């Protein structure tokens, strides 16, 4: 991942999901879910040190205590709903958990569901539907709790 400057890789097949994301320290962070409850375990020597905050959420200045931002984990096109006729995943006032899908980012013709990775209430969507987003760009403002 380091050699190719790849920051995230995800694959999904029949209920099995594997996501590898480079952490802030450059080491890979692996998460996996499966309908059959198989678990992927990295050898202890290869396990990264857990960071204090999720890669996609972070707090800002003291004047916004309790406020975090869901950030884009990749470059792509931001979509608030699964289709133009569908209801948005998350709107102002929507309560979310760490696993709540809040939007889709299309990258290289692949639709990637983005999870909140934080528990709280959506205060504001910061990106308009169909707009391009950059890695680390703020997508939603969330009040934790």
Q: Which domains does the chain have, with CATH numbers?
A: 8-46 (no CATH), 57-144 (2.40.50.100)
Is the pTM of the predicted complex or chain greater than 0.85? no
Going residue by residue through the chain, which has 145 residues, state the pLDDT in tens, using 9 for 90 and above.
Answer: 667 777 777 777 777 777 777 655 445 544 444 444 444 444 334 444 443 444 444 444 445 788 999 999 999 999 999 888 999 999 999 999 999 999 999 998 889 999 999 999 999 999 999 999 999 999 999 999 8
Residues in the chain: 145
Q: Percent helix, strand, coil in the chain (nearest 5)?
A: 5, 45, 55
């Amino acid at each position: 991942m380091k050699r190719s400057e790849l920051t995230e890789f995800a694959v999904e097949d029949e209920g099995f999901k594997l996501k590898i994301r480079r952490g802030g320290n450059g080491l890979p962070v692996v998460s996996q879910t499966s309908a059959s409850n198989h678990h992927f375990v990295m050898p202890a020597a290869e396990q990264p040190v857990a960071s204090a905050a999720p890669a996609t959420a972070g707090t800002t200045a003291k004047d916004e205590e309790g406020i975090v931002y869901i950030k884009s984990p990749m470059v792509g096109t931001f979509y608030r709903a699964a289709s133009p006729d569908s209801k948005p995943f998350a709107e102002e006032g929507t309560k979310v958990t760490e696993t709540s899908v809040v939007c889709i980012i299309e990258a290289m013709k692949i639709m990637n569901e983005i999870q909140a990775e934080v528990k709280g209430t959506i205060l504001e969507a910061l990106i308009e539907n169909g707009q391009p987003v950059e890695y680390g760009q703020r997508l939603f403002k969330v009040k934790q709790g």
